[in-house]
C-alpha cells in the first residue's frame, strides 16, 4: 500500500478510506481490467464462442505484469477471509460465470447442446481448468488450451 500510495501521490490513509486492504484494491483493478479485456462473443457457433471467450480470459490472466501471481494471491485471500470471498465471488467470479452462462444459453437455444446439458457444470469445468492450472500445475493457459477446452465443452 505504501508503494501504491506513493505512485498515486496520496497518503496511505486515503487509500484505506476507499479500500480496506490490498486485496480489495486488486479485486477492483482486476474487475475493471477483465471487463475491458474479456468480451462475450456471439458468433452463432458454440465452439467458436467458447474458444474466443476462454482465449481472452486466459490472455487477461497474463496481461498485467505478474497477473498469474496476482490471481493466485486474490484466491488465497478469498480462502482466508470469508467476507472478501463473498465480495470476490459477487464482483469478479459471478460476473464471468454469467458471461459464460449466456454463451451456453444461446447454444442451448440454437440446439447445439443437449437439453439436459448441465450449464453450471460446464461453467465449473471451464473455469476449474483455468484455476487448476493457475493454482496447482502452472500449466499453459494459451490459445491451444482454449481451443482444446472449447472443443471438449461443445461436444453434443
Residue 67 covered by a domain? yes
Question: Residue 35 and residue 4: Cα distance in Å, rounded?
Answer: 22
The domain total for the chain is: 1
Residue 123 covered by a domain? yes
- Provide the Cα torsion 16, 18, 24, 28; round to 10°: -150
CATH number, domain containing residue 127: 1.10.357.10
What DSSP assignment string belongs to 99-111? HHHHHHHHHHHHT
Residue 44 covered by a domain? yes
Residue 6 covered by a domain? no
Question: Residue 103 and residue 119: Cα distance in Å, rounded?
Answer: 10
Q: What is the mean pLDDT of each run of 10 residues along the chain (156 residues)?
A: 60 62 66 67 92 89 74 85 86 86 93 91 93 88 94 87
Question: Residue 28 and residue 25: Cα distance in Å, rounded?
Answer: 5
The domain containing residue 112 runs over which residues? Answer: 21-153
Amino acid at each position: 500500500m505504501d508503494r501504491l500510495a506513493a505512485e498515486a501521490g496520496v497518503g496511505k490513509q486515503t487509500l484505506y478510506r476507499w479500500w480496506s486492504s490490498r486485496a480489495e484494491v486488486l479485486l477492483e483493478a482486476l474487475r475493471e481490467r477483465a471487463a475491458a479485456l474479456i468480451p462475450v462473443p456471439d458468433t452463432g457457433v458454440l465452439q467458436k464462442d467458447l474458444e474466443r471467450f476462454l482465449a481472452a480470459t486466459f490472455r487477461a490472466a497474463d496481461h498485467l505484469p505478474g497477473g498469474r501471481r496476482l490471481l493466485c494471491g486474490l484466491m488465497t485471500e478469498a480462502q482466508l477471509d470469508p467476507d472478501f470471498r463473498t465480495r470476490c465471488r459477487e464482483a469478479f467470479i459471478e460476473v464471468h460465470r454469467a458471461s459464460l452462462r449466456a454463451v451456453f444459453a444461446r447454444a442451448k437455444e440454437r440446439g447445439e447442446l443437449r437439453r439436459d446439458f448441465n450449464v453450471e457444470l460446464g461453467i465449473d469445468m471451464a473455469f476449474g481448468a483455468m484455476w487448476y492450472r493457475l493454482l496447482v500445475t502452472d500449466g499453459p493457459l494459451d490459445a491451444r488450451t482454449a481451443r482444446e477446452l472449447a472443443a471438449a465443452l461443445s461436444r453434443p
